[in-house]
């Protein structure tokens, strides 16, 4: 599970979806005006605002290796 606060998603949004939602041009944006339920017990949780891409990739690789999938 990649956990990213809505505020961070908005800053990173290259498609402009959050700006369109804020302007009233778009509805149903998950986590903003459409509910989002985080997984209760994800196998892995990536805190993308606190980890580099390399750290996140290493965490995924470690989990896959641990499970014999890498």
Q: What is the pLDDT of residues 12-68, one digit of tens each?
A: 999 999 999 999 999 999 999 999 999 999 999 999 999 999 999 999 999 999 999
d(CA 38, CA 40): 6
0.95 exceeded by pTM: no
The confidence score (pLDDT) of residue 14 equals 97
Number of independent structural domains in the chain: 1
CATH code at position 14: 3.40.50.300
Distance between CA atoms of 4 and 36, rounded to whole angstroms?
A: 12
Q: Look at residue 1 and tell me whether its pLDDT is greater than 90.
A: yes
| Residue 70 pLDDT | 87
**pLDDT recorded at residue 2:** 95
Range of the domain at 18: 2-66
CB burial class (10 A; 0-12, 13-18, 19+) of residue 68?
A: exposed
pLDDT score of 51 = 95
Q: Angle CA(44)–CA(3)–CA(60) in degrees, nearest 5?
A: 35
Question: DSSP 3-state assignment of 21?
Answer: helix
């Amino acid at each position: 599970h990649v956990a990213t606060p809505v505020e961070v998603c908005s800053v990173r949004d290259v498609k402009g979806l959050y700006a369109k939602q804020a302007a009233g041009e778009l509805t149903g944006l998950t986590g903003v005006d459409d509910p989002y339920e985080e997984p209760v017990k994800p196998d892995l949780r990536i805190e993308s605002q606190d980890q580099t891409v390399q750290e996140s990739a290493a965490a995924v690789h470690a989990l896959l290796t641990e499970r014999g999938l890498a």
